[in-house]
Structure 1
Amino acid sequence: MQQLPIEAALPELLDALRSRPNAVLIAEPGAGKTTKVPLALLEEPWLQGKKIVMLEPRRLAARSAAAYMSATLGEQPGGTVGYRVRMDTKVSDKTRIEIVTEGVLTRLLQADPALEEYGAILFDEFHERHLHGDLGLALALQSQQLLRDELRIVVMSATLDAAAVSALLGDAPVIASKGRVFPVETVYTGKKMQESFEQRIAGTVRRAISEHLEGDVLVFLPGVREIRRTAALLAEGGGLPSLVQVAELHGSLPLSLQQQAIAPCGPGMRKVVLSTAIAESSLTVEGVRIVVDGGLMRVPRFSPRTGMSRLETIPVSKASADQRRGRAGRVAEGVCYRLWTEQEHAYLKPYAAPEIEEADLASLALELAVWGVGDPSELRWLNEPPQAAYRGARELLQALTAIDAEGKPTPHGMRMAGLGVHPRLAHMLLVSEELGAAGLACELAALLSDRDPLAGERSADIQLRLQALRSGAGIDRAAAERVKQQARQWRGMLTGGEKRKHEADPAKEQALAGLLLAHAYPDRIAQKRGEGKYLLANGRGAALAGAQPISRAPYLVAAELDDAGAESAIRLAAELPAGLFDHELSSYTIKEESIEWDKSVLAVRARSRVRLGAIILKEKPMPNPDPEKVALELVRGIRETGFDLLPFNRSAKQLLARMRLMAKHDGSWPDVSEDALTDRLEHWLMPHLYGLKSAADLQKLNMIEIIGELLDWTKRRELDEQVPTHITVPSGSRIPIDYSDPDNPVLAARLQELFGWKETPRIAGGKLPLTLHLLSPSQRPVQVTRDLANFWNETYFEVKKDLKGRYPKHYWPDDPLAAQPTNRVRPRNS
């Protein structure tokens, strides 16, 4: 058998692990690390006959690796080498190497934190940085530190920041191995704007088949939707040459079809494998010499703000692109067609963001709580969980009664963690025991844990999926079997029997399905607020795509949402009967009395209501609201809306202006600016608000009296003396002073009434001269001055000429200071 490149690096790895507990192995694709390293460690003395567990991120890769290693030993999986993956386990008493997927490793560590049966943990393809991989490494490192200092930990990858991982593992040695890689030509095809993504992929595949007459083609696409569209395009127009077959490769395929996709072709045949990132590492698709890379990947993005996830299609990283390119050089010289430009390649990120930074952390938070860790910083991470997302995850776990107020797991939470499913669905499964609906809950959980089995179905009603699952109509047979198998597995873990026969009564089952999902997604219970539009309990808006039967439901629970845009798109939902809120879902509701300022009607509304998050289920007026709270809300309304709500008439405004003028010139006076009054509304205004509740009621207030109460008797007298409301002019008329501009108070009087007045009158203890508006007989200003003496001496005679011409019957003396003032046309004795 031909020697694999990793074998040259094995002696260095073995030497490192004999003296150190940890190591980092960097091995290029095709080096053979996945299948050779575990076998090489089996007879090491430090292992002391214990088992090796190797974490493999993908189920197909785990099974394939176990099959390959078993074959080299002349055995079947389940002998020396076995595996544990979701819904499939092949291990025995003879098994020494267990290849497990990520959730399985977490369960092993939780069941036995010391991992007494195991002497080494290998983390394969760690560069993929899946959430459970990071969690598993963090738990393993603490186990090693506190319980098992002899436990060996090896992190293996083809593309990885080795220095950072080495530091995390206590400056572990880094061993590097070259892969068995042949030269690979890279062809950048760029973008053709007139074609869709799938059309460009299909065109590039045809080009590759025609330009290269040997070798299979591995095509990287972001998801199943693009795979199926591309397959359809390749079948059009006569399709590919008859000797070229097309195979799909993705995680939702049955194992048999996945194995067919990676198996070698028959003699004279060629193959085009349309794959997701599942083939990027670990798996070897036999015979591949051509790679067509679409350059896209689909990743989940979680929003702590909304509590929801969405799938987002993004460009691959340089590391992923290199991994994909390397698949073309495993057996001979190859070529990689990239559907982007060389310039665009330079701007790709070096590495993909680790899942822990962008994923829903509810499962991780529950695992840490069960592990006994409240603060993630107690563990060692390559990247710590983001605080906002982790805080949101803990809040969800409390709502699901998985942890208590201190963050410790409840007995209910411990059982949830043991089910190995998202905490929402685990909570639903356990609640179903009490409801006697475990079978239905297991079906729902299995449907929601997998891809939508009715992909392309316009209706979001999950009841259609249940019916299809049972009848087999319109559903992929393999998908249905996978869902049923998972449902059976969970059903075996639950204790509650079936107390009710739901399938015989579709209406009852529909209501029960809604109830079960409401327990899983209490924050996504939704209330109708328009045609096809709903308000979620978390305050977000959501909408169904077009008119569909379920859109008539007043309430529903959204089990799957696409959190894109202003309103989330509801992908899967169940109708929720309103009657459930009074009893079965009452634990999620809050009864409260609300006294709030309603700016839409400019009034305080006092209501008693039953609320579920942002959803108001019931509401009615309160007959006798607390007057103190009503007054406080009225104050808030005034503060929010502004002083325009208060009935300040002209006299009240003048009083405020006079007080502000005194405050400006005398620091002992209170600040009655609008900002200061607004800040102190509770002190000077609130005592007058009892019994009032609206802007209309406020019009009853006497603002002159209320403002006047801010002054004691001495200040009131001083105000009248220093800043009078009126002033008596030489004619005897009592004329009001305009204080609308406190810096420039105005006295407007007819010129003839001021004859004999030598100086400008002053107020505020003589500190401030009045601005005189000298008026004509028709009350129009002919002069504005703050220096009356100067006016008489310099300007009066010019003004007199003009006025005498326009008002010849009026009295215009030559000496205004000696003349008799009058408020008539002429003085009485003239």
Structure 2
Amino acid sequence: MDDRDRKQQIQSQGELPIDGLLPELQQLLTERNAAVLVAAPGAGKTTRVPLALLSAPWLAGQRILMLEPRRLAARAAARFMAASLGEQVGGTVGYRVRMDTKVGPSTVIEVITEGVLTRMLQADPALEGVGIVIFDEFHERHLHGDLGLALCLQTQAVLRDDLRLLVMSATLEAEPVAELLGGAPLLVSEGRAYPVETHYAAKPVNGRVEDAITRTVLEAVQRDEGDALVFLPGAGEIHRVAGLLRASAALPAGTQVVPLYGALSPEEQDRAVAPSAEGERKIVLATTIAESSVTVRGVRIVVDSGLSRVPRFSPRTGMARLETVPVSVASADQRRGRAGREAPGVCYRLWTEQEHRQLQPQSEPELLGADLAPLALELAIWGIADPFEELAWLTKPPAAAYSQAQELLRELGALDAGGKPTAHGKAMAELGMHPRLAHMVLEAKPLGQGEAACELAALLGERDLLRQTRSIDMRLRVDALRGRGAGGGEQPDAAVLARLAAEAREWMRAAGIAPQQRQARAAADADATGLLLALAYPDRIAQRRGDGRFLLRSGRGAAVQELQPLSSAPYLATAELEDSGSDSRILLGAPITLAELERHFADQLAEEADVRWDRQAGAVRARRRIRLGSLILKDTQLDRADPELVMNALFSGIAEYGLDMLPWTKQARQLQARIALMHTHNASWPDVSEEALLASLPEWLGPYVGGMRSRSDLSRLNMAQIMESLLSWQERSLLDNEVPTHIKVPSGSRIPVDYSDPAAPVLAVRLQELFGLAQTPRIAGGKLPITIHLLSPAQRPVQVTQDLASFWQNTYFEVKKDLKGRYPKHYWPDNPLEAEPTSRAKPRPQA
């Protein structure tokens, strides 16, 4: 078909608002390598723009790649464009989506999903043979769309300045995108939309949204004409509303209720968007999949719950969860516009006008709340060391989530310590699965569990197959997929089972896994589910700690909410967790044995000696522990512990109790005090204060505690000897001279000095033994006077002084009167400085 015939064929389909803008767009892309096109819903951008570029001179036999965020939209757009040319899909127009490709040797326009573009870029960074990449519905801000644009911009800047980039959107703040594209020109098409009458709720929804939606839908189909498109947050709500509608007597005769969400088969999705049969009506219950790109034919009524379900990744827990959030104003307008695509329509919003004014203007980019492990792996393979500086982003990925994603990839063996991709990581990326699932499949293959891993990958990519079953046991889902029956009597939908089985076979083909004979397979995967889950989620291996509570390898807590057989499993491999509170709720898992953990995670096990002070036993206890992250797999007594670890544990016990735990004698304490006194006058002397000794236990006590493990062992220490060892020979001699243990008084007695308070040493001596001593004795080289406690004959203090001369002159005579009255037989001279000192009642008579 030549260009003239092609144009005539397209024009025969009718005029669309975008048509008037196409010549200008063609001219701009001839002159520039980038442009931004904003076109309202119904303008025809998705199906007319690629066809209009087929004859562009710069295309010169190259292909056009157009990205659609969803498989349904990609297939629908390709079919519509092919039909516009009077061809079948796979001719001039084809598509590539995950597990479904229809292209041929003559294909020029390839409609692809965003993940497919990433794979194409990794295989050929220059995109040889591609003339333009069109990013359709970019306002949805899917992670792979942002990634694809960032990579294409680098390709354009480094390898292909002739590669054209066109960003198209229905509702987008276009200026930042145009700036990101180097100041690209911006075109705007108003589109063609019929008026839509909008009704808000009189008051906020109270109770289940499913009940409110059902009431509104039934009222709408009785009041208004045409088919209805109902927006709900997820598949669960869709199935519940479908059940309520079908059971209602108010549902008009000849009205079909059909679901529309991403996990349905292509045939089921196509049936939902096809026009109703003559004389029939339909109610399409859809997720955000129907917001843009796809036109559900015949729709005149939109009922909007105002909710959507988006992924939210928590760097705190390392887990992603789906969160139900209010839609943005832009999304709500997109949904409302679905009712006015073909004729005037009506939109019922289940929120009030006041609530509408509180909605966010735009939806948050998926990049900000998603699990970034796939992104981090793709960038590592692309060769990006610093994604924040090396790539041009419309929105940069969150640093914390990106760092956590890299850590997971290292744990899976996809990245080395330096962040470079390993051969295993490259093989993971080539499979096109989430890195967790890709790792599981590749690791399972040599174990003979490849087929079982692919089945499990298909199941994990689907919302829970047994939504009504209380059991968290993933093995029940595997049995259901294999036709062995399901738990609790629940029977999964046969079409869903067939689709999952087909997906598993496709994964097997991608991974090069041949189907096994039934007998061989039964023997190989009798109970491999737990091991396979552990390979995919190594950070979520859990160990039981009682009452349905578990400890995850990552250190987080988790719990099985309802009592069931797996509540008491020693170990679980958990596949799905709900991040809530201190303990996450385990939603899906399977048991795994200790032997499997030891065998298959041997390279990740850490052996450690846990040597610590046991307060209750008053001794060091040594244990040998085998750890997998935070999990202690084995804990046995360690007979030959590292002496240094034992010593450190002993010191921690001493530090906990204080130095009183050591066997101090009076002599040892006195020596400590004497050394402390010297330190106060000369900082070069050892600091033997309690604080200093506790802080330096290994240095001064270490040489004496070899082989000791308990408090009783410590009782053998000679603390006086240890204190003395802190001094040099010269210091010991100086200590005896300057800070003596005893002082010889005039009576001839050697009186011990009390150094309990190094700042004020005490000499307690009977007053009569000091007769004739005029001045107070001084120590520490004469720097410190002794504090003298003058005692009565009965050894009771009668006076305390540091100035003996003043005492003799001013106080002695008063003290003498008192003592002479109480001790009349003792010697109390009038002149103490000339009297003879005595340790007796009276001096010995002179011979």
Smaller-chain TM-score range? 0.7 to 0.9
Note closer, same or farther for the CA distance 1:313–1:738 as it changes in structure 2 (3 Å cut): farther
Separation in 1, partners of 2:555, 2:828: 80
Separation in 2, partners of 1:735, 1:743: 16
Match of 2:144, SS state, is helix
Match of 1:45, SS state, is coil
1:448 matched to which residue of 2?
460
1:559 matched to which residue of 2?
575
Deviation of 1:557 after TM superposition, in Å, equals 1.9
Separation in 2, partners of 1:217, 1:747: 105
1:358 matched to which residue of 2?
369
Which of 476, 488, 509 is the matching residue for 2:493? 476
Separation in 1, partners of 2:810, 2:355: 82
Letter in 1 for 2:502: Q
Separation in 2, partners of 1:651, 1:351: 81
Deviation of 1:417 after TM superposition, in Å, equals 1.9
Is 1:119 matched up with 2:169? Answer: no
Deviation of 1:599 after TM superposition, in Å, equals 5.5
Of 552-561 and 596-605, the range deviating more from structure 2 = 596-605
2:731 matched to which residue of 1?
715
Deviation of 1:337 after TM superposition, in Å, equals 2.3
2:8 matched to which residue of 1?
none
Equivalent pairs, count = 821
Which of 115, 118, 134 is the matching residue for 1:106? 118
Note closer, same or farther for the CA distance 1:65–1:794 as it changes in structure 2 (3 Å cut): farther
Match of 1:180, SS state, is coil
Match of 1:163, SS state, is helix
Which of 704, 707, 716 is the matching residue for 2:720? 704
Letter in 1 for 2:114: E
2:612 matched to which residue of 1?
597
Of 403-412 and 820-829, the range deviating more from structure 2 = 820-829
Match of 1:312, SS state, is strand
1:167 matched to which residue of 2?
179
Note closer, same or farther for the CA distance 1:423–1:768 as it changes in structure 2 (3 Å cut): same
Deviation of 1:685 after TM superposition, in Å, equals 2.4
Of 517-526 and 231-240, the range deviating more from structure 2 = 231-240
Note closer, same or farther for the CA distance 1:53–1:746 as it changes in structure 2 (3 Å cut): farther
Deviation of 1:295 after TM superposition, in Å, equals 4.0
1:352-380 CA deviation, whole Å, 9 max, x = no partner? 44333333333223323333434434333
| Alpha carbons 2:738, 2:781 under 8 Å: kept | yes
Of 11-20 and 200-209, the range deviating more from structure 2 = 200-209
Which of 39, 50, 71 is the matching residue for 2:51? 39
Q: Spell out the pairing of 1:9-408 with structure 2 (5 A cutoff).
A: 9-181=21-193, 189=201, 192=204, 195-202=207-214, 213-214=224-225, 218-232=229-243, 238=249, 246-264=257-275, 272-286=283-297, 288=299, 291-304=302-315, 306-330=317-341, 331-332=343-344, 334-335=346-347, 337=349, 339=351, 342=354, 345-346=357-358, 348-376=359-387, 377-408=389-420
Separation in 1, partners of 2:286, 2:429: 32
Letter in 2 for 1:479: V
Separation in 2, partners of 1:36, 1:504: 51
Separation in 2, partners of 1:713, 1:773: 32
Deviation of 1:454 after TM superposition, in Å, equals 0.8
| Alpha carbons 2:255, 2:281 under 8 Å: kept | yes
| Alpha carbons 2:739, 2:780 under 8 Å: kept | yes
Deviation of 1:489 after TM superposition, in Å, equals 0.7
| Alpha carbons 1:518, 1:524 under 8 Å: kept | yes
Percent of aligned pairs sharing the same letter = 55
Which of 447, 455, 465 is the matching residue for 2:477? 465
Match of 1:89, SS state, is strand
| Alpha carbons 2:228, 2:300 under 8 Å: kept | yes
| Alpha carbons 1:21, 1:151 under 8 Å: kept | yes
Of 380-389 and 465-474, the range deviating more from structure 2 = 380-389
Of 155-164 and 334-343, the range deviating more from structure 2 = 334-343
Q: Spell out the pairing of 1:625-636 with structure 2 (5 A cutoff).
A: 625-635=641-651
Note closer, same or farther for the CA distance 1:253–1:720 as it changes in structure 2 (3 Å cut): same
Letter in 1 for 2:76: S
| Alpha carbons 1:556, 1:574 under 8 Å: kept | yes
Of 489-498 and 151-160, the range deviating more from structure 2 = 489-498
Q: Spell out the pairing of 1:490-509 with structure 2 (5 A cutoff).
A: 490-497=507-514, 501=518, 509=525
Is 1:571 matched up with 2:587? Answer: yes
Letter in 2 for 1:251: G
Note closer, same or farther for the CA distance 1:369–1:584 as it changes in structure 2 (3 Å cut): same
Separation in 2, partners of 1:823, 1:289: 124
Separation in 2, partners of 1:795, 1:191: 97
| Alpha carbons 1:758, 1:817 under 8 Å: kept | no
Separation in 1, partners of 2:718, 2:809: 46
Separation in 2, partners of 1:641, 1:482: 67
Is 1:682 matched up with 2:698? Answer: yes
| Alpha carbons 1:536, 1:615 under 8 Å: kept | yes
1:389-417 CA deviation, whole Å, 9 max, x = no partner? 44443444344343445544444333322
Separation in 1, partners of 2:499, 2:319: 26
1:423 matched to which residue of 2?
435
2:6 matched to which residue of 1?
none
Match of 2:555, SS state, is coil
1:284-322 CA deviation, whole Å, 9 max, x = no partner? 344555555444433323344544322233344444344
Letter in 2 for 1:164: P
Letter in 2 for 1:13: L
Letter in 2 for 1:99: V
Could you list the runs of 5+ residues in structure 1 that have no partner in the other structure?
Answer: none
Separation in 2, partners of 1:711, 1:385: 62
Q: Spell out the pairing of 1:545-694 with structure 2 (5 A cutoff).
A: 545-581=561-597, 583-590=599-606, 592-594=607-609, 596-598=611-613, 603-635=619-651, 646-647=662-663, 652=668, 655-694=671-710
Of 93-102 and 764-773, the range deviating more from structure 2 = 764-773
Separation in 2, partners of 1:203, 1:782: 102
| Alpha carbons 2:204, 2:352 under 8 Å: kept | no
Separation in 2, partners of 1:190, 1:754: 105
Letter in 1 for 2:641: P
| Alpha carbons 2:546, 2:568 under 8 Å: kept | no
Letter in 1 for 2:507: W
Separation in 1, partners of 2:528, 2:249: 50
| Alpha carbons 2:679, 2:687 under 8 Å: kept | yes
- TM-score, normalisation: structure 1: 0.84
Deviation of 1:428 after TM superposition, in Å, equals 2.3
Q: Which has the larger radius of gyration?
A: 2
Note closer, same or farther for the CA distance 1:727–1:387 as it changes in structure 2 (3 Å cut): farther
Is 1:518 matched up with 2:534? Answer: yes
Give the aligned CA root-mean-square deviation in angstroms: 4.4
Note closer, same or farther for the CA distance 1:350–1:194 as it changes in structure 2 (3 Å cut): closer
1:486 matched to which residue of 2?
503
- TM-score, normalisation: structure 2: 0.83
Could you list the runs of 5+ residues in structure 2 that have no partner in the other structure?
Answer: 1-12
Separation in 1, partners of 2:809, 2:279: 121
1:101-129 CA deviation, whole Å, 9 max, x = no partner? 12211122222222223211111122222
Letter in 1 for 2:429: A
Of 722-731 and 122-131, the range deviating more from structure 2 = 722-731
| Alpha carbons 1:528, 1:553 under 8 Å: kept | yes
Separation in 2, partners of 1:183, 1:780: 111
Match of 2:58, SS state, is helix
